[in-house]
Amino acid sequence: MHQKRTPADITALIKEHGIKLIDFKFADILGTWQHFTTTLTEYSEDLFTDGLGFDGSSIRGWKAINNSDMLVIPDASTAWVDVFNQEPTLSFICDIVDPITKEPYDRDPRGIAGKAEAFLKSTGIADTAFFGPEAEFFIFDDVRFDYTGHSSHHSVDSIEAHWNSNREEAPNLGYKIRPKEGYFPVAPTDTQQDIRNEMCLEMEKCGIPIERQHHEVATAGQAEIDIRFAPLKQMGDWIMYYKYIVRNVAARHGKTVTFMPKPLFGDNGSGMHTHMSLWKDGKPLFFGDKYAQLSETALFYIGGVLKHARALCAICNPTTNSYKRLVPGYEAPVNMAYSARNRSASIRIPTYSSNPKAKRIEFRTPDPAANIYLSSAALLMAGLDGILNRIDPGDPLDKNLYDLPAEELAKVPSAPDSLLGALEALQADHEFLLKGDVFTKDFIENFIEMKKKEYDAIRLRPHPYEFAMYFDV
């Protein structure tokens, strides 16, 4: 995947692998892949310019039914023989365009990522934005949930979860992971080494280079697989395949994967720490002689991200569940500050290496429920706003932010405590996203409207724990 291929190369690939079916995948606004499949009857090399028509009215947040015709244009560089289909199938990631104007559809997340990369080049600041998100997830053995007007229920389970230490397993061998003690255990405590290895190898077959995999901090099968950094839109494609592959490998083993930020109470949630750097003419721009060997450009980039951090949360932490992870004093960084090595700051400057090519910043607030195309594009636009306007990030905070006195901590901006708060911040602060028509006002207004409906859906419903607290009032 992500090899430069011509339409003729794709025709040769179809013959080489005996392909019978073509699958067309694209992301909706919420970051979920949609797809449809054709036989080779519909295939021709003209597909890569003319596309295929479809009705976009049923895609969440897209066009109204009276204006719903769209085209998908497959990207030949994303071709992959989909190993999860029984019949030989060639899969493409697609862009969405207007069938009349042939212009990119302004609600297509992948198109927005492409426009962000084009805007970066137009500024002359850099020609490449590298991104390296670390998407955590849980591998569960069972999940059940239900909600009615008079009852609600959810339950997740894992053979390695601490709550199963007394379960009859004929026999129960006792290798259970206590809360917050799941970081790097070996087998037999870590029950999922082979599954994660299989996920890694399938991703590498797909063309996604792997750095490492490991069990994460939480009990009950929390995992992380780190992939190599890549340019913004390419990384978006990789993360979409990443999610698809880990879910389908888990399903092979009768297990299920969730990227929900906070599926467990009392243990770590899943984040998506996002590493970023800018390059020009093959040279890194974030290395310099300032704080933590950063350049002035990098510090201004940090200034932009910090200035717009609360608005960014609406896109980088886009669910009501996200804010159950973003709670002061717990594992996720909510204080909008920067620091070298200090993992309690929302922006960390990794110090693993003094190699200029490794110099980057890490924004630790996002979670994997984010649409990767949108979150990366928004972060780049915030950073560029910082560079273009020379936004000073202020002094670094190298103290443990969780130990700061209350009066000192009050001076440090923090993440919103709810999705509504983040949406209100985005409503008040989104001009930086509109530069170069990367995001449009229509997109922002539509996104806020969609997400407010999610917020209202939760606040209208009684929560089970409210019965424990309030039934006898």
Please give the positions annotated as active site: 55, 134, 136, 216, 224, 273, 343, 362, 364
- The SS3 assignment for 428 reads helix
In angstroms, the CA 370 to CA 377 distance is: 12
Tokens 């229920």 correspond to: 153
CA distances from 48 to 206, 225, 381 (A): 21, 32, 29
In angstroms, the CA 402 to CA 333 distance is: 9
- What secondary structure does DSSP assign to 234-264, as a single string? HHHHHHHHHHHHHHHHHHHTT-EEE--S--S
Bridging pattern class, strands 152-157 and 142-147: antiparallel
In angstroms, the CA 401 to CA 378 distance is: 26
In angstroms, the CA 399 to CA 408 distance is: 11
**Helices 232-252, 372-388: inter-axial angle, 10-degree rounding:** 150
Tokens 């990789």 correspond to: 238
Going by C-alpha positions, the residue among 328, 330, 349, 329 that lies closest to residue 339 is 349
Indicate the residue type of 199.
M
For residues 417-440, one letter each, b for 16 or more C-beta atoms within 10 angstroms of the residue's C-beta and e for the rest, the string is ebbbbbbbbbeebbebbebeebbe
Token pair recorded at residue 261: 């930020």
Measured between its terminal Cα atoms, the distance across the chain in Å is 59
- Give the containing element (helix H, strand E) for 389: none
Going by C-alpha positions, the residue among 321, 314, 326 that lies closest to residue 447 is 314
Token pair recorded at residue 389: 């306007």
Going by C-alpha positions, the residue among 298, 268, 255 that lies closest to residue 396 is 298
Tell me the H-state helices in 232-336: 232-252, 296-307, 309-316
CA 127 distance to own-chain centroid = 23
Q: Are 312 and 382 in contact (CB under 8 A)?
A: yes
Indicate the residue type of 236.
G
In angstroms, the CA 151 to CA 149 distance is: 6
In angstroms, the CA 366 to CA 318 distance is: 9
CA distances from 398 to 183, 338, 367 (A): 24, 8, 24
In angstroms, the CA 423 to CA 50 distance is: 37
